[in-house]
Structure 1
Amino acid sequence: MSTEVGTDLPAAPAASTAPAGRRGGGEAAVTEAFAVALPVGRWSTDPAIIDAHRFDRSGWIPPGRPLGVAFAREVADVQSVLRVASARGVPVIVRGAGTGLAGGAAAGAGTVVLDLTGMNRIRELSVADAVAVVEPGVITADLDAAARRAGLSYPPDPASASISTIGGNIATNAGGLRCAKYGVTRESVLGLEVVLADGEVITTGRRTVKGVAGYDLTGLLVGSEGTLGVVVGATVRLRPLPCATVTLAGYFDTVAAAVDGVTALAAAGIVPAIAELLDERTVRAVDAATGSTLATHGAVFLLVQTDGAGATAEADEAEVILAARARAVHRSTDDATAEPLLAARRAALPSLE
């Protein structure tokens, strides 16, 4: 899916896409098979619950209604759902937090929704190995907060981090504000636990930084949007907290001037942790929705952040480069003044909506 906002929902796994009942009885028999396969309370055909799980943030609502919603709490629940689905020829729509923009969690007639938000445990957070082992329903920002309490961080930072899930980020290979320096989700996923369409569980990858042997099945699965299997666990890479962070807000008259500034930063060898641009329409939408005053400084907003031991020196050079092209450049070295700037970027999509 992949803009960096709302990138948290996997699409249907590689189960059969035959209409419900084509192999194994009518609708009643199919729904009963799911009810029997799952523990009490983890299967629902309540119309209100189904309607609440029919669509994601894309706004697309497929025709018809799903057969029911399965609420997974354990790996065994996912296995049970996929085994029944494969046997009965029922398409499965895997759902995280519902913030996806590409319709990956939109569910129509004859489908079953597999809700993974109940699998939300951080199984392990190792400072020594700088890794975390998490379930797919863990909220992205919650993982980063837990890592920060241990002196580490989880680099992927989609604008939907406060509401999107790790499983959906993995399924869509979500980007984020910090991908300019730390890469997209794939660069932070070391290993996966995945349930295939027939219910078999496989594990891929490793928990070490170096790993060169064999096929990169982990890399193949990240971004596959559920078409190869359902992610039920992930070993992700954590990074040390940067010792320093500097945030620059550049205000420009045109997008071309802002892009020229970013190009000049790259030419100077500066690798910012964050480099995000909002055009004039988005700036005005953010101001209108949040009460910010970005447009009073310039039509186009460029957010640049440097971090690490060289953060100050890089920011000094970046500020000179941007100031030569911008109407104004504002500098922040503390969270209190930097956070509103980051919040403005995160507010872009909701503001446009």
Structure 2
Amino acid sequence: MLIDDLHAVLPPDRVVTDPDVLRGYAHDEAEWAPHGLPAAMVRPRGAEDVQATVRTCIRRGVPLVTRGAGTGLSGGANAVEGCVLLAMDQLNRIREIDPVERLAVVEPGVVNDDLRAACAEQNLWYPPDPASSPWSTIGGNVATNAGGVCCVKYGVTRDYVLGMQVVTGTGEIVRLGRRTAKGVAGYDLAGLMVGSEGTLGVITEITVRLRAKRAAERTVAGYFDSIVAAGEAAAAVVASGVVPSALELVDRHCLKAVDAWKNMGLSAEANVVLLGRTDTPGDTEAATVLGCFEQAGATWAAMSTDQEEADALFAARRLAYPALERLGPVLTEDVCVPTNKIAEMLGRIEAAAQKHDTVIANVAHVGDGNLHPLLITPLDDDNARKRAQAAFEDIVNDALALGGTVTGEHGVGLLKRPGLVKELSPAVLEMHRAVKTALDPHGILNPGKVFAS
């Protein structure tokens, strides 16, 4: 039996078979993405545990699905029926922080904010900061190439991954990438692993690039009557030449949900809030952002002089998704469009909401065109669910029509597989499948995710 084989190669505390526990780990946060019940879950403590698990799955022909904290929003970590689930939460050590080389070596179960806090103690900074950073793990961030609030200026996870240790689809432990600032020896296999959603290998250690601790930020807030006007303001900031350290949009649906949960009093005066930050010394860039907000029709705009107030506004941005979840099932979109199409795309999202009689809240990294419409439905309302799914498809199609992509940072997983087929040509899809076949010849690694096998 599979369970006997796992017990034969792993210490007894590594293997979990309790059905109630397995059900709790069987899916991520993607609403309505299908999932199965694992046959077992392995909680490795090192690469050798992962290797033993992979080799057992190869022998048995059993699927292997790797998961981090389960904060994903595309179904990428969802269990396949009868699979072995590899839960990386025990691989959670920060192995090294090197202030001279400005790098850190971490295990995949390290929580994003924990790494950032450890770096800050040495006046260093790890920039990628998804909204889930208090809970999501570096391994999961690497698997989806996560972005976040500051990626408009500082880039996404891929820009900070130097190298990694990986257990391959043939059960070998290998090292990819480098520790040096430069290096072009061979193909960029480490880069290939970033964003691969567990379909090409199991990452057991990650070396990331760090930056020096940055200067204090200046925050500019603007209130707008319409989401399209806020989108026009964001596009104007980009066109101005200023590269903000953050440029975020939060609409009234989100503000009201956060207020209802945390009583922050943010929804009384605005339909849409646009939040900009700059970290270049001086007030020149912040003043430019303020001018863009005012010229685009902000009903109120100001540069914040109260750091506590500014932090509260950004806290509301991070709390938007969990606050909306309290109201009912939330289907989360993740499209990205060219910045000069932001306002038009936001208008199309509003049209999709009206067409399909669906409540759509909006948060967005508008500085780089990454929009997160949040489709909200009542509990146990099948018709509302179908309308939301139809609106979801319209939004994907509209993003592609405007020259965008079906996912900016959440990954393809299960929910975006139909959109990927629309975005990529048949020839390019075959290139993806060829890579998958070469690196996972037994077809056991997260099968059915990203594109149908």
* TM-score relative to the length of structure 1: 0.88
Residue 371 (structure 2) aligns with: none
Cα-to-partner distance string for 1:221-250 (whole Å, 9 max, x where unaligned)? 100001100111111111111122111121
2-structure distance, mates of 1:228, 1:316: 46
| Secondary structure at 2:13 match in 1 | coil
1:304 to 256, 267, 276: 276
Which amino acid in structure 2 is aligned with residue 200 of structure 1?
A: E
Which amino acid in structure 1 is aligned with residue 189 of structure 2?
A: L
Q: CA deviation at 1:294?
A: 2.5
1:189 to 150, 154, 161: 161
Identical amino acids, percent of aligned pairs: 48
The change in CA–CA distance for 1:209 and 1:334 in structure 2 (over 3 A counts) is farther
* TM-score relative to the length of structure 2: 0.69
Cα-to-partner distance string for 1:318-347 (whole Å, 9 max, x where unaligned)? 112212321112333564232211111001
Residue 313 (structure 2) aligns with: 341
Q: CA deviation at 1:60?
A: 4.3
1:75 to 47, 51, 59: 47
Number of matched residues?
Answer: 324
8 Å Cα contact 1:242-1:309 kept in structure 2: no
Residue 17 (structure 1) aligns with: none
1-structure distance, mates of 2:306, 2:108: 32
| Secondary structure at 2:128 match in 1 | coil
Q: CA deviation at 1:107?
A: 1.4
Residue 35 (structure 1) aligns with: 7
Residue 102 (structure 1) aligns with: 74
2:119 to 133, 138, 147: 147
Residue 199 (structure 1) aligns with: 171
The change in CA–CA distance for 1:341 and 1:63 in structure 2 (over 3 A counts) is closer
Moved more, 172-181 or 259-268: 259-268
Q: Which runs of 5+ in 1 are unaligned?
A: 1-28
Moved more, 250-259 or 324-333: 324-333
Cα-to-partner distance string for 1:94-134 (whole Å, 9 max, x where unaligned)? 11111111112221421111111100011110111111011
Moved more, 224-233 or 320-329: 320-329
Residue 88 (structure 2) aligns with: 116
- Whether 1:89 and 2:57 are equivalent positions in the alignment is no
- Whether 1:273 and 2:236 are equivalent positions in the alignment is no
Residue 232 (structure 2) aligns with: 260
- Whether 1:313 and 2:284 are equivalent positions in the alignment is yes
Q: Which runs of 5+ in 2 are unaligned?
A: 326-453
2-structure distance, mates of 1:73, 1:183: 31
8 Å Cα contact 2:169-2:201 kept in structure 1: yes
Moved more, 340-349 or 97-106: 97-106
2-structure distance, mates of 1:341, 1:249: 9
| Secondary structure at 2:8 match in 1 | helix
8 Å Cα contact 1:245-1:333 kept in structure 2: no
Which amino acid in structure 2 is aligned with residue 148 of structure 1?
A: A
- Whether 1:245 and 2:245 are equivalent positions in the alignment is no
Residue 198 (structure 2) aligns with: 226
Q: CA RMSD in A?
A: 1.6
Q: CA deviation at 1:62?
A: 4.3
Moved more, 46-55 or 287-296: 287-296
